[in-house]
Chain A
Amino acid sequence: MADGPTRYIGMPHKRLEDRTLLTGGGRFAADLSAPGQLHMRVVRSPVAFGRLRSVDVREARRLPGVVAVWTFADVERIPPIQIRLTKIGGLEPYQQTVLARDYVRYVGDPVAAVFAEDPYVAEDAAELVFPEIEELPACISATEPPREFMPETLPGVSSEAACVTKAYGDLDAAFAAAHEVVELEVAVGRHTGVPLETRGALAEFDPAKGTLTMRGAAKVPHYNRGQVARMLDMPDEMVHLIQGHVGGGFGVRGELYPEDVLVCHAALRLKRPVKWVEDRQEHLMAANHSRDQSYRLRAAVDARGFILGLQAEVFSDQGGYVRTHGVTVPDLSAAMLPGPYLVPAYRADVHVRLTNKTPAGTYRAPGRYESTFARERLLDAIAHALGRDPVEVRRVNLIPRDRMPFDRGVDTLGTRVVYDSGDYALLLDKLLAYLDYDRLKQALAARRAAGEHVGFGLGYFVEKSGLGPADKAVISIDAEGMVEVVTGAASIGQGIETAMAQICAEVLEVPIERIRVVHGRTDRIDYGMGAFASRVTVMTGCAVKAAAEALLEKLAGAQVGTPASAEGWFRADHMTYPYGIHAAVVRVDPGTCAVHVERFVVAYDIGRAVNPMLVEGQIVGGAVQGIGGALFEEFVYDANGQPLVTTFGDYLMPTLAEVPPVEALVTEDAPATQNPLGVKGAGEAGINGAGAAIAAAVDDALGRPGAVTRLPVTPIRLHRLLGERD
C-alpha cells in the first residue's frame, strides 16, 4: 500500500509489547482494582485425604471486615468443573467441585472461601475457619494398586480413572523375531510451569447491563467464558473474560480453576467486585502440577538396534481430581512415545490414576518431556545392550525423509498423527557437524582420563504444533491507515502481538508501527481458541494472513483512506510436526554429587520462522525450564501426602548461576505442508528433550550406562546411585 514493499516475516523484529512492560505499565491480574472490591482468601485442606465432616466458620464471620465465608453448602448449585480436552467417558466422578463436598483429596483442596474488605483481614479470617476432617491413609503413588476414590460417597469408583491405549502393528511378531529384548523402567518426577506471576482474578457484575466481567484471564478466554456462564447459569453473551498482561503461562495458567468460578459467583452474589490474588505457597499446592509418570518399556530389536516393536506400560499420577485437561497428558504420552523412529509395531497402555496430591495438568511439552525421556533412555539402553554407538542406533531407527508424510498410526487430541514433513537424518548431521562431534567426544574422553567426570548425551524428539480445528481474525483499517488486528488468541508472554503484526504487515505492506493487535477479549471477537499446544503462530497466524488478504481484496481499486474491515479463517484437521535434538555436556562433581551443565544445544527445525529472535527466545527459555526439571525442580510428598515443597526455597527453579548459555541451532529444512506460511510452533522446542539429553550425559560422565532412571537427577539421588557402586 502506501509505503512500498516491506518485509516482515522472517525478520527479528523487536517486540511491540516491550515498552509498556519495561516502564512498569503492565497490567497483570494483581494490578487491577475496582472501587468497593472485596478480597477473597481460600481456606485449604491441611490433610491429603479425609472425610470432610464439617467446617466451622462462626469465628471467621465475626471478624470485623469480613463480609462472607462460604463452604460447599453455599455453592452446592454450581456443577463441578468440566473437562475441556480429551473427554473420554467415565471421568465425571473425578471432576473437582469449586469447594470440597464430601472429601478432601489433597493438601490445598479448597474447603472454604473468605470475603473481606482487605486482603490482610481475609487472611486473618481464613485462619479462623476450622474444617473437621477425618483423616484417611493417603495414596501418593500411581504405581500402587488402585483403591476407591471416595469410598463412602462413591462406592466402587476406582482411583484408576482411565487407561489410555494406543496400538498398531503386530507386536507379537516383532518380539518373536527379536534379536534381543531390551527392558527399562524409568520415571519423571512431579514438577510444573510455575509462572512468576501467581494466578489472580477480578470479577465485577454490572447490574445495569446484567454482565459479569472477569479480568485476569489467560490461555483460553473464550472456552472459559462459556464454562463460567454455564456453571453460573448465565447466557454466554452476558459473561466477558478479559486478559491483561499475563506473567507466564506454560500450560498451567488460564485453565479454569475453582477460584475463578468462586470470584465470579461471589461478584454476582455479594454485588461487589471481588478480587483474588493467589500467594506463592498456594500456587505451589493448588495450581496444576505436571509430569509424574512412570514408564515400563520393552523393545524388540534386531542386531543393528532397529526397534521391531515397542510395548509400554505407563502410570500417570493425576493427583486429587481430573481437571480441565482430562487425559491430555497421558494421551500425548502414548501418541508421541515412538517419536522420530519407525517403530513398526507398538502398544502403549497408560494408567491414569488418582492420588492424594495436587491435581495434575499440562506443562510445556506435556507428555513429551516424559515420553522423550523414556524413549531416549531406551535408545541408549539398546545401544549399550548391543555395544553400539548411541548416535548410530538412533540413525538406524529414524524415519527417512522419503517416508514423509508419515502416518504414525495413532490419534491424539482428536486428530490423526501424521508427521507432515521432516528430514530427521539431516538435522542429526547438522547437529553433529555443529558440535564437531568426534572432536568433542575425544576432548571429553581426554578429560575423563584426567580424572574429571564429564559426559555427553542427546535426545531426539518430534514436537507437535498448530492444533485446530480453526482460528479467526478480523482486521480493520481506518481512514488514517491505522490497522487493528483482532484475534481470539491469548498472549502469555510469548510475543504474539509482534508475530501477528509481522504477518499482517507483510501481507498489507504497511509499517508495523501502524498495527495494533488485540487478543484475549471475549467482548471483541466471538471465536477464539486461546494459546496452548504451540498453536498460535500456526493457527492464529494463518487466520491473520487470510484476513489481511481478504482486506486487500476489498481495498483493491478503492481510494486511499477508505476504511474497511475483513475477517479471515484458518482451519486445520491435522497438526504440524516440528522436530529437534537436545545435546548436553555435563560435569558431575563426585564430592558434592552435583551436576553442572557445561553446554546445552538445541537443534530444531521450525519449518519457517516468523520472527527468529522470538523463536530463539522460546528455545532458550524452554531449555532452562527443561534443565530445571532434569536437575532441580520436584514436588516431594511425605508418606502422609504432606507436600514438602511449598516455597521457592524448596522448589528450585534455576537461577542464572545454574545454567549455561543455551545454543540454538534453528533450521528451516522442512516447512509445514499444512499451512500457507509453512510455519511450525516453537513454544515447546526448548524443553522437550532436556531431561533425556541430561540423563544420557550424566550416564556418560559416570561411565555407567543406564544409571539415571529417574528425573530430576538431584544430588541426594546421585549420592545413592554412586553409593551403590562402593
Chain B
Amino acid sequence: MTSPHDKLAVTLAVNGRDYRIAVEPRRSLADALREDCGLTGTHLGCEHGYCGACTVLVDGVPVRACLMLAVQAHGRPIRTVEGLAGDGPLHPLQEAFRDEHGLQCGFCTPGFLMLAAGVLEREPDIGDEALREILSANLCRCTGYQNIVKAVRAAARRIKEAAGRG
C-alpha cells in the first residue's frame, strides 16, 4: 500500500496551534516538533528513552517524544516548553527553577519542566516521596538534582496558593 518513504500528512496540535506537516512514518515526534514545527525547546539527549530531555505532554501526560512516532501523535493535544508560559509571565515552575537555581546548562530543563507540569496538573497534592520517584525519570548532569526538587516543590506551593486565591 504505502512505501516507507511516502510522506504522510499529519497534524500536530502543539500548544494550541495546528501544524500541518508531511513526514515519513519513521519520523519521531521529537524530530517532527523540532524540525517540522520549529520548536527546538524539546531536546534530544539520548533517543532511547533514558534521559527524558525530550519529555512533552501528549493528552496531558508526560511522554518521551523520542519513543513516539509523529504519526502516532496526529490530532492529539501536545504541549511543549514553548507553550508553558506563552507570551506572558513565566509559569510558576519556570519562576521556581530560576529562583532555586534549578538549572545550569539548561539542556535537560525543558524535559524536567514538562515532566513536573504534567505531574502537578494531575496530582497537585503529590507527596515528597512520590514526587522524588517521578523526578528520578529524567537525567540532569549539572545540578545534582536537589535544586530541581526544591524548585518543583516551591512551584507546587505557588500553584496551590494561586488556586486558593482564584
Q: Are B101 and A613 in contact (CB under 8 A)?
A: yes
Give the shortest distance, in Å, between B51 (CB) and chain A (any CB).
6
- What residues on B are CB-neighbors of A24 within 8 Å? 39-42, 80-82, 84, 110
- In the bound assembly, the distance between CA atoms of A647 and B50 in angstroms comes to 9
Closest Cβ–Cβ distance, residue B143 to chain A (whole Å): 5
> Closest CB of chain A to B107's CB: distance in Å?
3
Tell me whether B48 and A649 are in contact (CB under 8 A): yes
Knowing A14-B99, A620-B147 are in contact, say whether A28-B51 is a contact too (CB < 8 A).
no
Query: Does any Cβ of B come within 8 Å of A246's Cβ?
Result: yes
Whether the pair A31, B141 counts as a contact (CB closer than 8 A) is no
Query: Could you tell me the distance in whole angstroms from the C-beta of A452 to the nearest C-beta in chain B?
Result: 21
Interface contact B105-A247, CB-CB below 8 Å: yes
Q: How far is the CA of A24 from the CA of B148 in the complex (A)?
A: 17
As a 0/1 sequence over residues 184 to 195 of chain A, the CB contacts with chain B under 8 angstroms (1 = contact) are: 000000000111
**In whole angstroms, how far apart are the Cα atoms of A22 and B145 in the complex?**
16
The interface residues of chain B lying within 8 Å CB-to-CB of A247 are 43, 45, 105-108
B67-75, B119-127, B128-136 - interface stretch: B128-136
CB distance from A497 to the nearest CB of B (A): 12
B22 at the interface (CB under 8 A from A): no
Q: Does A643 contact B (CB under 8 A)?
A: no
B158 contacts A by Cβ under 8 Å: no
A-side contacts of B82, CB under 8 Å = 23-24
In the complex, B9 has a CB within 8 A of chain A: no
User: Is residue A655 within 8 Å, beta carbon to beta carbon, of the partner chain?
Assistant: yes
- Whether B8 sits at the interface, judged by CB under 8 Å, is no
Indicate which residue in A26, A33, A617 contacts B104 across the interface (CB closer than 8 Å). Answer: A617
Residue from A18, A245, A493, A494 having most chain B Cβ neighbours under 10 A: A18
A226-249: contact bitstring with B at CB < 8 Å (1 yes, 0 no)? Answer: 000000000000000000011111
Q: Which residues of B contact A28 (CB under 8 A)?
A: 40, 43, 107
Instruction: State which of A14, A655, A657 has its C-beta within 8 Å of the C-beta of B98.
Output: A14
What interface size band does chain B fall in? 35 or more
A494 engages B104 (CB within 8 Å): yes
Indicate if A661 sits at the interface (CB-CB under 8 A). yes
The answer to whether B147 and A617 touch across the interface, beta carbons within 8 angstroms, is yes
Q: How far in angstroms is the closest Cβ of chain A from B79? A: 11
A-contact 0/1 string along B30-42, CB 8 Å cutoff: 0000110001111
Could you tell me if A197 and B105 are in contact, using CB atoms closer than 8 angstroms?
yes
A23 and B94 within 8 A (CB): yes
The residue in chain B whose Cβ has the minimal distance to the Cβ of A65 is B5
Q: Which of B110, B136, B144 has the most chain A CB atoms inside 10 A of its CB?
A: B144
Q: In the complex, what residue of chain A is closest to B91 when comparing beta carbons?
A: A22
By the criterion CB–CB under 8 Å, are A22 and B144 in contact?
A: no
Chain B residues numbered 23-70 whose CB sits less than 8 Å from any CB in chain A: 24, 26-27, 34-35, 39-48, 50-51, 53
Which single residue of chain B is at the shortest CB-CB distance from A12?
Answer: B101
| Whole-angstrom CA separation of A198 from B66 in the bound complex | 15
Point out the residue from B48, B97, B149 that lies within 8 Å of A656, measured CB to CB.
B149
A246 pairs with B105, CB closer than 8 A? yes
Decide: B97 and A18 in contact? CB cutoff 8 A. yes
A637 CB to closest chain B CB (Å) equals 21
Pick the contact of B109 from A14, A21, A614 — CB < 8 Å? A21
Number of interface residues of A (CB under 8 A): 57
Question: With contacts A21-B106, A25-B41 known, is A15 near B140, CB below 8 A?
Answer: no
> If the complex has contacts A22-B109, A23-B81, A120-B26, are A493 and B99 also in contact, measured as CB distance less than 8 A?
no
Within 8 A of A (CB), among B88-104: 90, 94, 97-99, 101, 103-104
CA distance A495 to B104 in the complex (A): 7
Note all chain B residues with C-beta closer than 8 A to A18.
97-98, 103, 106
Q: Quick one: closest B residue to A628, CB to CB?
A: B141
Report A-chain residues with C-beta under 8 Å of the C-beta of B101. Answer: 14-15, 613-614, 616-617
Query: A613–B150 Cα gap in the complex (Å)?
Result: 14
Chain A interface helix/strand/loop/mixed:
loop
- Residue B159 at the A interface, CB < 8 A? no
From B35, B80, B98, give the contact of A22 (CB < 8 A): B98
A623 CB within 8 Å of chain B: yes
**In whole angstroms, how far apart are the Cα atoms of A27 and B109 in the complex?**
13
Which has the most chain B C-beta neighbours within 10 Å: A493, A624, A656?
A656
Smallest CB separation, B122 vs chain A (Å): 19
Indicate with 1 or 0, residue by residue over A347-387, a CB within 8 angstroms of chain B CB atoms: 00000000000000000000000000000000000000000
Q: In the complex, A15 Cα to B85 Cα: how many Å?
A: 18
Interface flags for B136-161 (1: CB within 8 Å of A; 0: not) read 11111111111111000000000000
Given the known interface contacts A14-B98, A614-B101, the answer about A653 and B90 at a Cβ–Cβ threshold of 8 Å is no
A116-141 interface code vs B (CB 8 A; 1 in, 0 out) = 00001000000000000000000000
Measured CB to CB, the nearest residue on chain B to A623 is: B144
Q: Does A276 contact B (CB under 8 A)?
A: no
Q: Is the beta-carbon distance between A648 and B141 smaller than 8 angstroms?
A: no
Q: Tell me whether A293 is interfacial, beta carbon within 8 Å.
A: no
Interface centre among B24, B80, B136 (most CB of A within 10 A): B136
* B142 contact set on A, CB distance < 8 A: 196, 248, 493, 617, 621
Q: Does A279 make an interface contact (CB < 8 A)? A: yes
Instruction: Tell me, rounded to whole Å, the shortest Cβ–Cβ distance linking A237 to chain B.
Output: 30
B78 within 8 A of A: no
B12 at the A interface (CB under 8 A): no
B residues less than 8 Å from A69 (CB atoms): none
Expressed in whole angstroms, the Cα–Cα distance for A23 and B142 within the complex equals 19
CB distance from B127 to the nearest CB of A (A): 15
Query: Contacts of B137 on A, CB cut-off 8 Å?
Result: 655
B10 contacts the other chain (CB 8 A)? no
Least Cβ–Cβ distance between B52 and chain A, in angstroms:
9
Is B117 at the interface (CB under 8 A from chain A)?
no
| Given contacts A23-B84, A279-B47, A648-B51, A624 and B105 within 8 Å (CB-CB) | no
Residues of B within 8 A of A279 (CB): 47
Please encode chain A, from 331 to 350, with 1 for each CB lying within 8 Å of some chain B CB and 0 for all others: 00000000000000000000
Q: What per-residue 1/0 map shows which CB atoms of A29-73 lie under 8 Å from chain B? A: 011010000000000000000000000000000000000000000
Contact A617 B44 (CB under 8 A): no
Say which residue of B35, B84, B105, B149 sits within 8 Å of A195 (CB atoms).
Answer: B105
Shortest CB distance B99–A (Å)? 7
Taken together as a complex, chains A and B put the C-alpha atoms of A279 and B136 apart, in Å, by 23
A625 at interface, CB cutoff 8 A = yes
Contacts known (A493-B142, A624-B145); A22 close to B45, Cβ less than 8 A = no
A85 to nearest B CB, angstroms?
A: 23
Q: Are B109 and A648 in contact (CB under 8 A)?
A: no
Interface residues of A in 605-623 (CB under 8 A from B): 613-614, 616-617, 620-623
Contact (Cβ within 8 A) A196 B108? yes
Contact status B90-A23, CB under 8 Å: yes
Which residues of A sit under 8 angstroms from B51, Cβ to Cβ?
A: 196, 280, 648
B113 in the interface, Cβ–Cβ < 8 Å?
yes
Closest residue of A by beta carbon distance from B90: A22
**Chain B residues closer than 8 Å to A20, beta-carbon distance:** 106
CB distance from B111 to the nearest CB of A (A): 9
The answer to the question of A396 belonging to the interface, with a C-beta cut-off of 8 Å to chain B, is: no
Residue A250 lies at the interface, judged by CB distance under 8 Å to chain B: yes
Please report the C-alpha to C-alpha distance between residue A249 and residue B105 in the assembled complex, in whole angstroms.
9
B90 touching A656 by the CB < 8 A rule? Answer: no
Which residues of B approach A to under 8 Å, CB–CB?
Answer: 24, 26-27, 34-35, 39-48, 50-51, 53, 80-82, 84-85, 90, 94, 97-99, 101, 103-110, 113, 132-133, 135-149
- A-B contacts, 8 of them at CB < 8 A, read A17-B106, A30-B43, A196-B139, A196-B142, A198-B45, A655-B137, A656-B136, A657-B136
Give me 6 other A-B pairs in contact (C-beta within 8 A), A195-B107, A621-B141, A659-B145 excluded.
A23-B94, A494-B105, A617-B142, A647-B46, A657-B133, A662-B146
Q: Which 10 A-B pairs have the closest CB atoms?
A: A24-B41, A493-B105, A21-B106, A247-B107, A648-B50, A620-B144, A624-B144, A31-B40, A24-B81, A657-B136
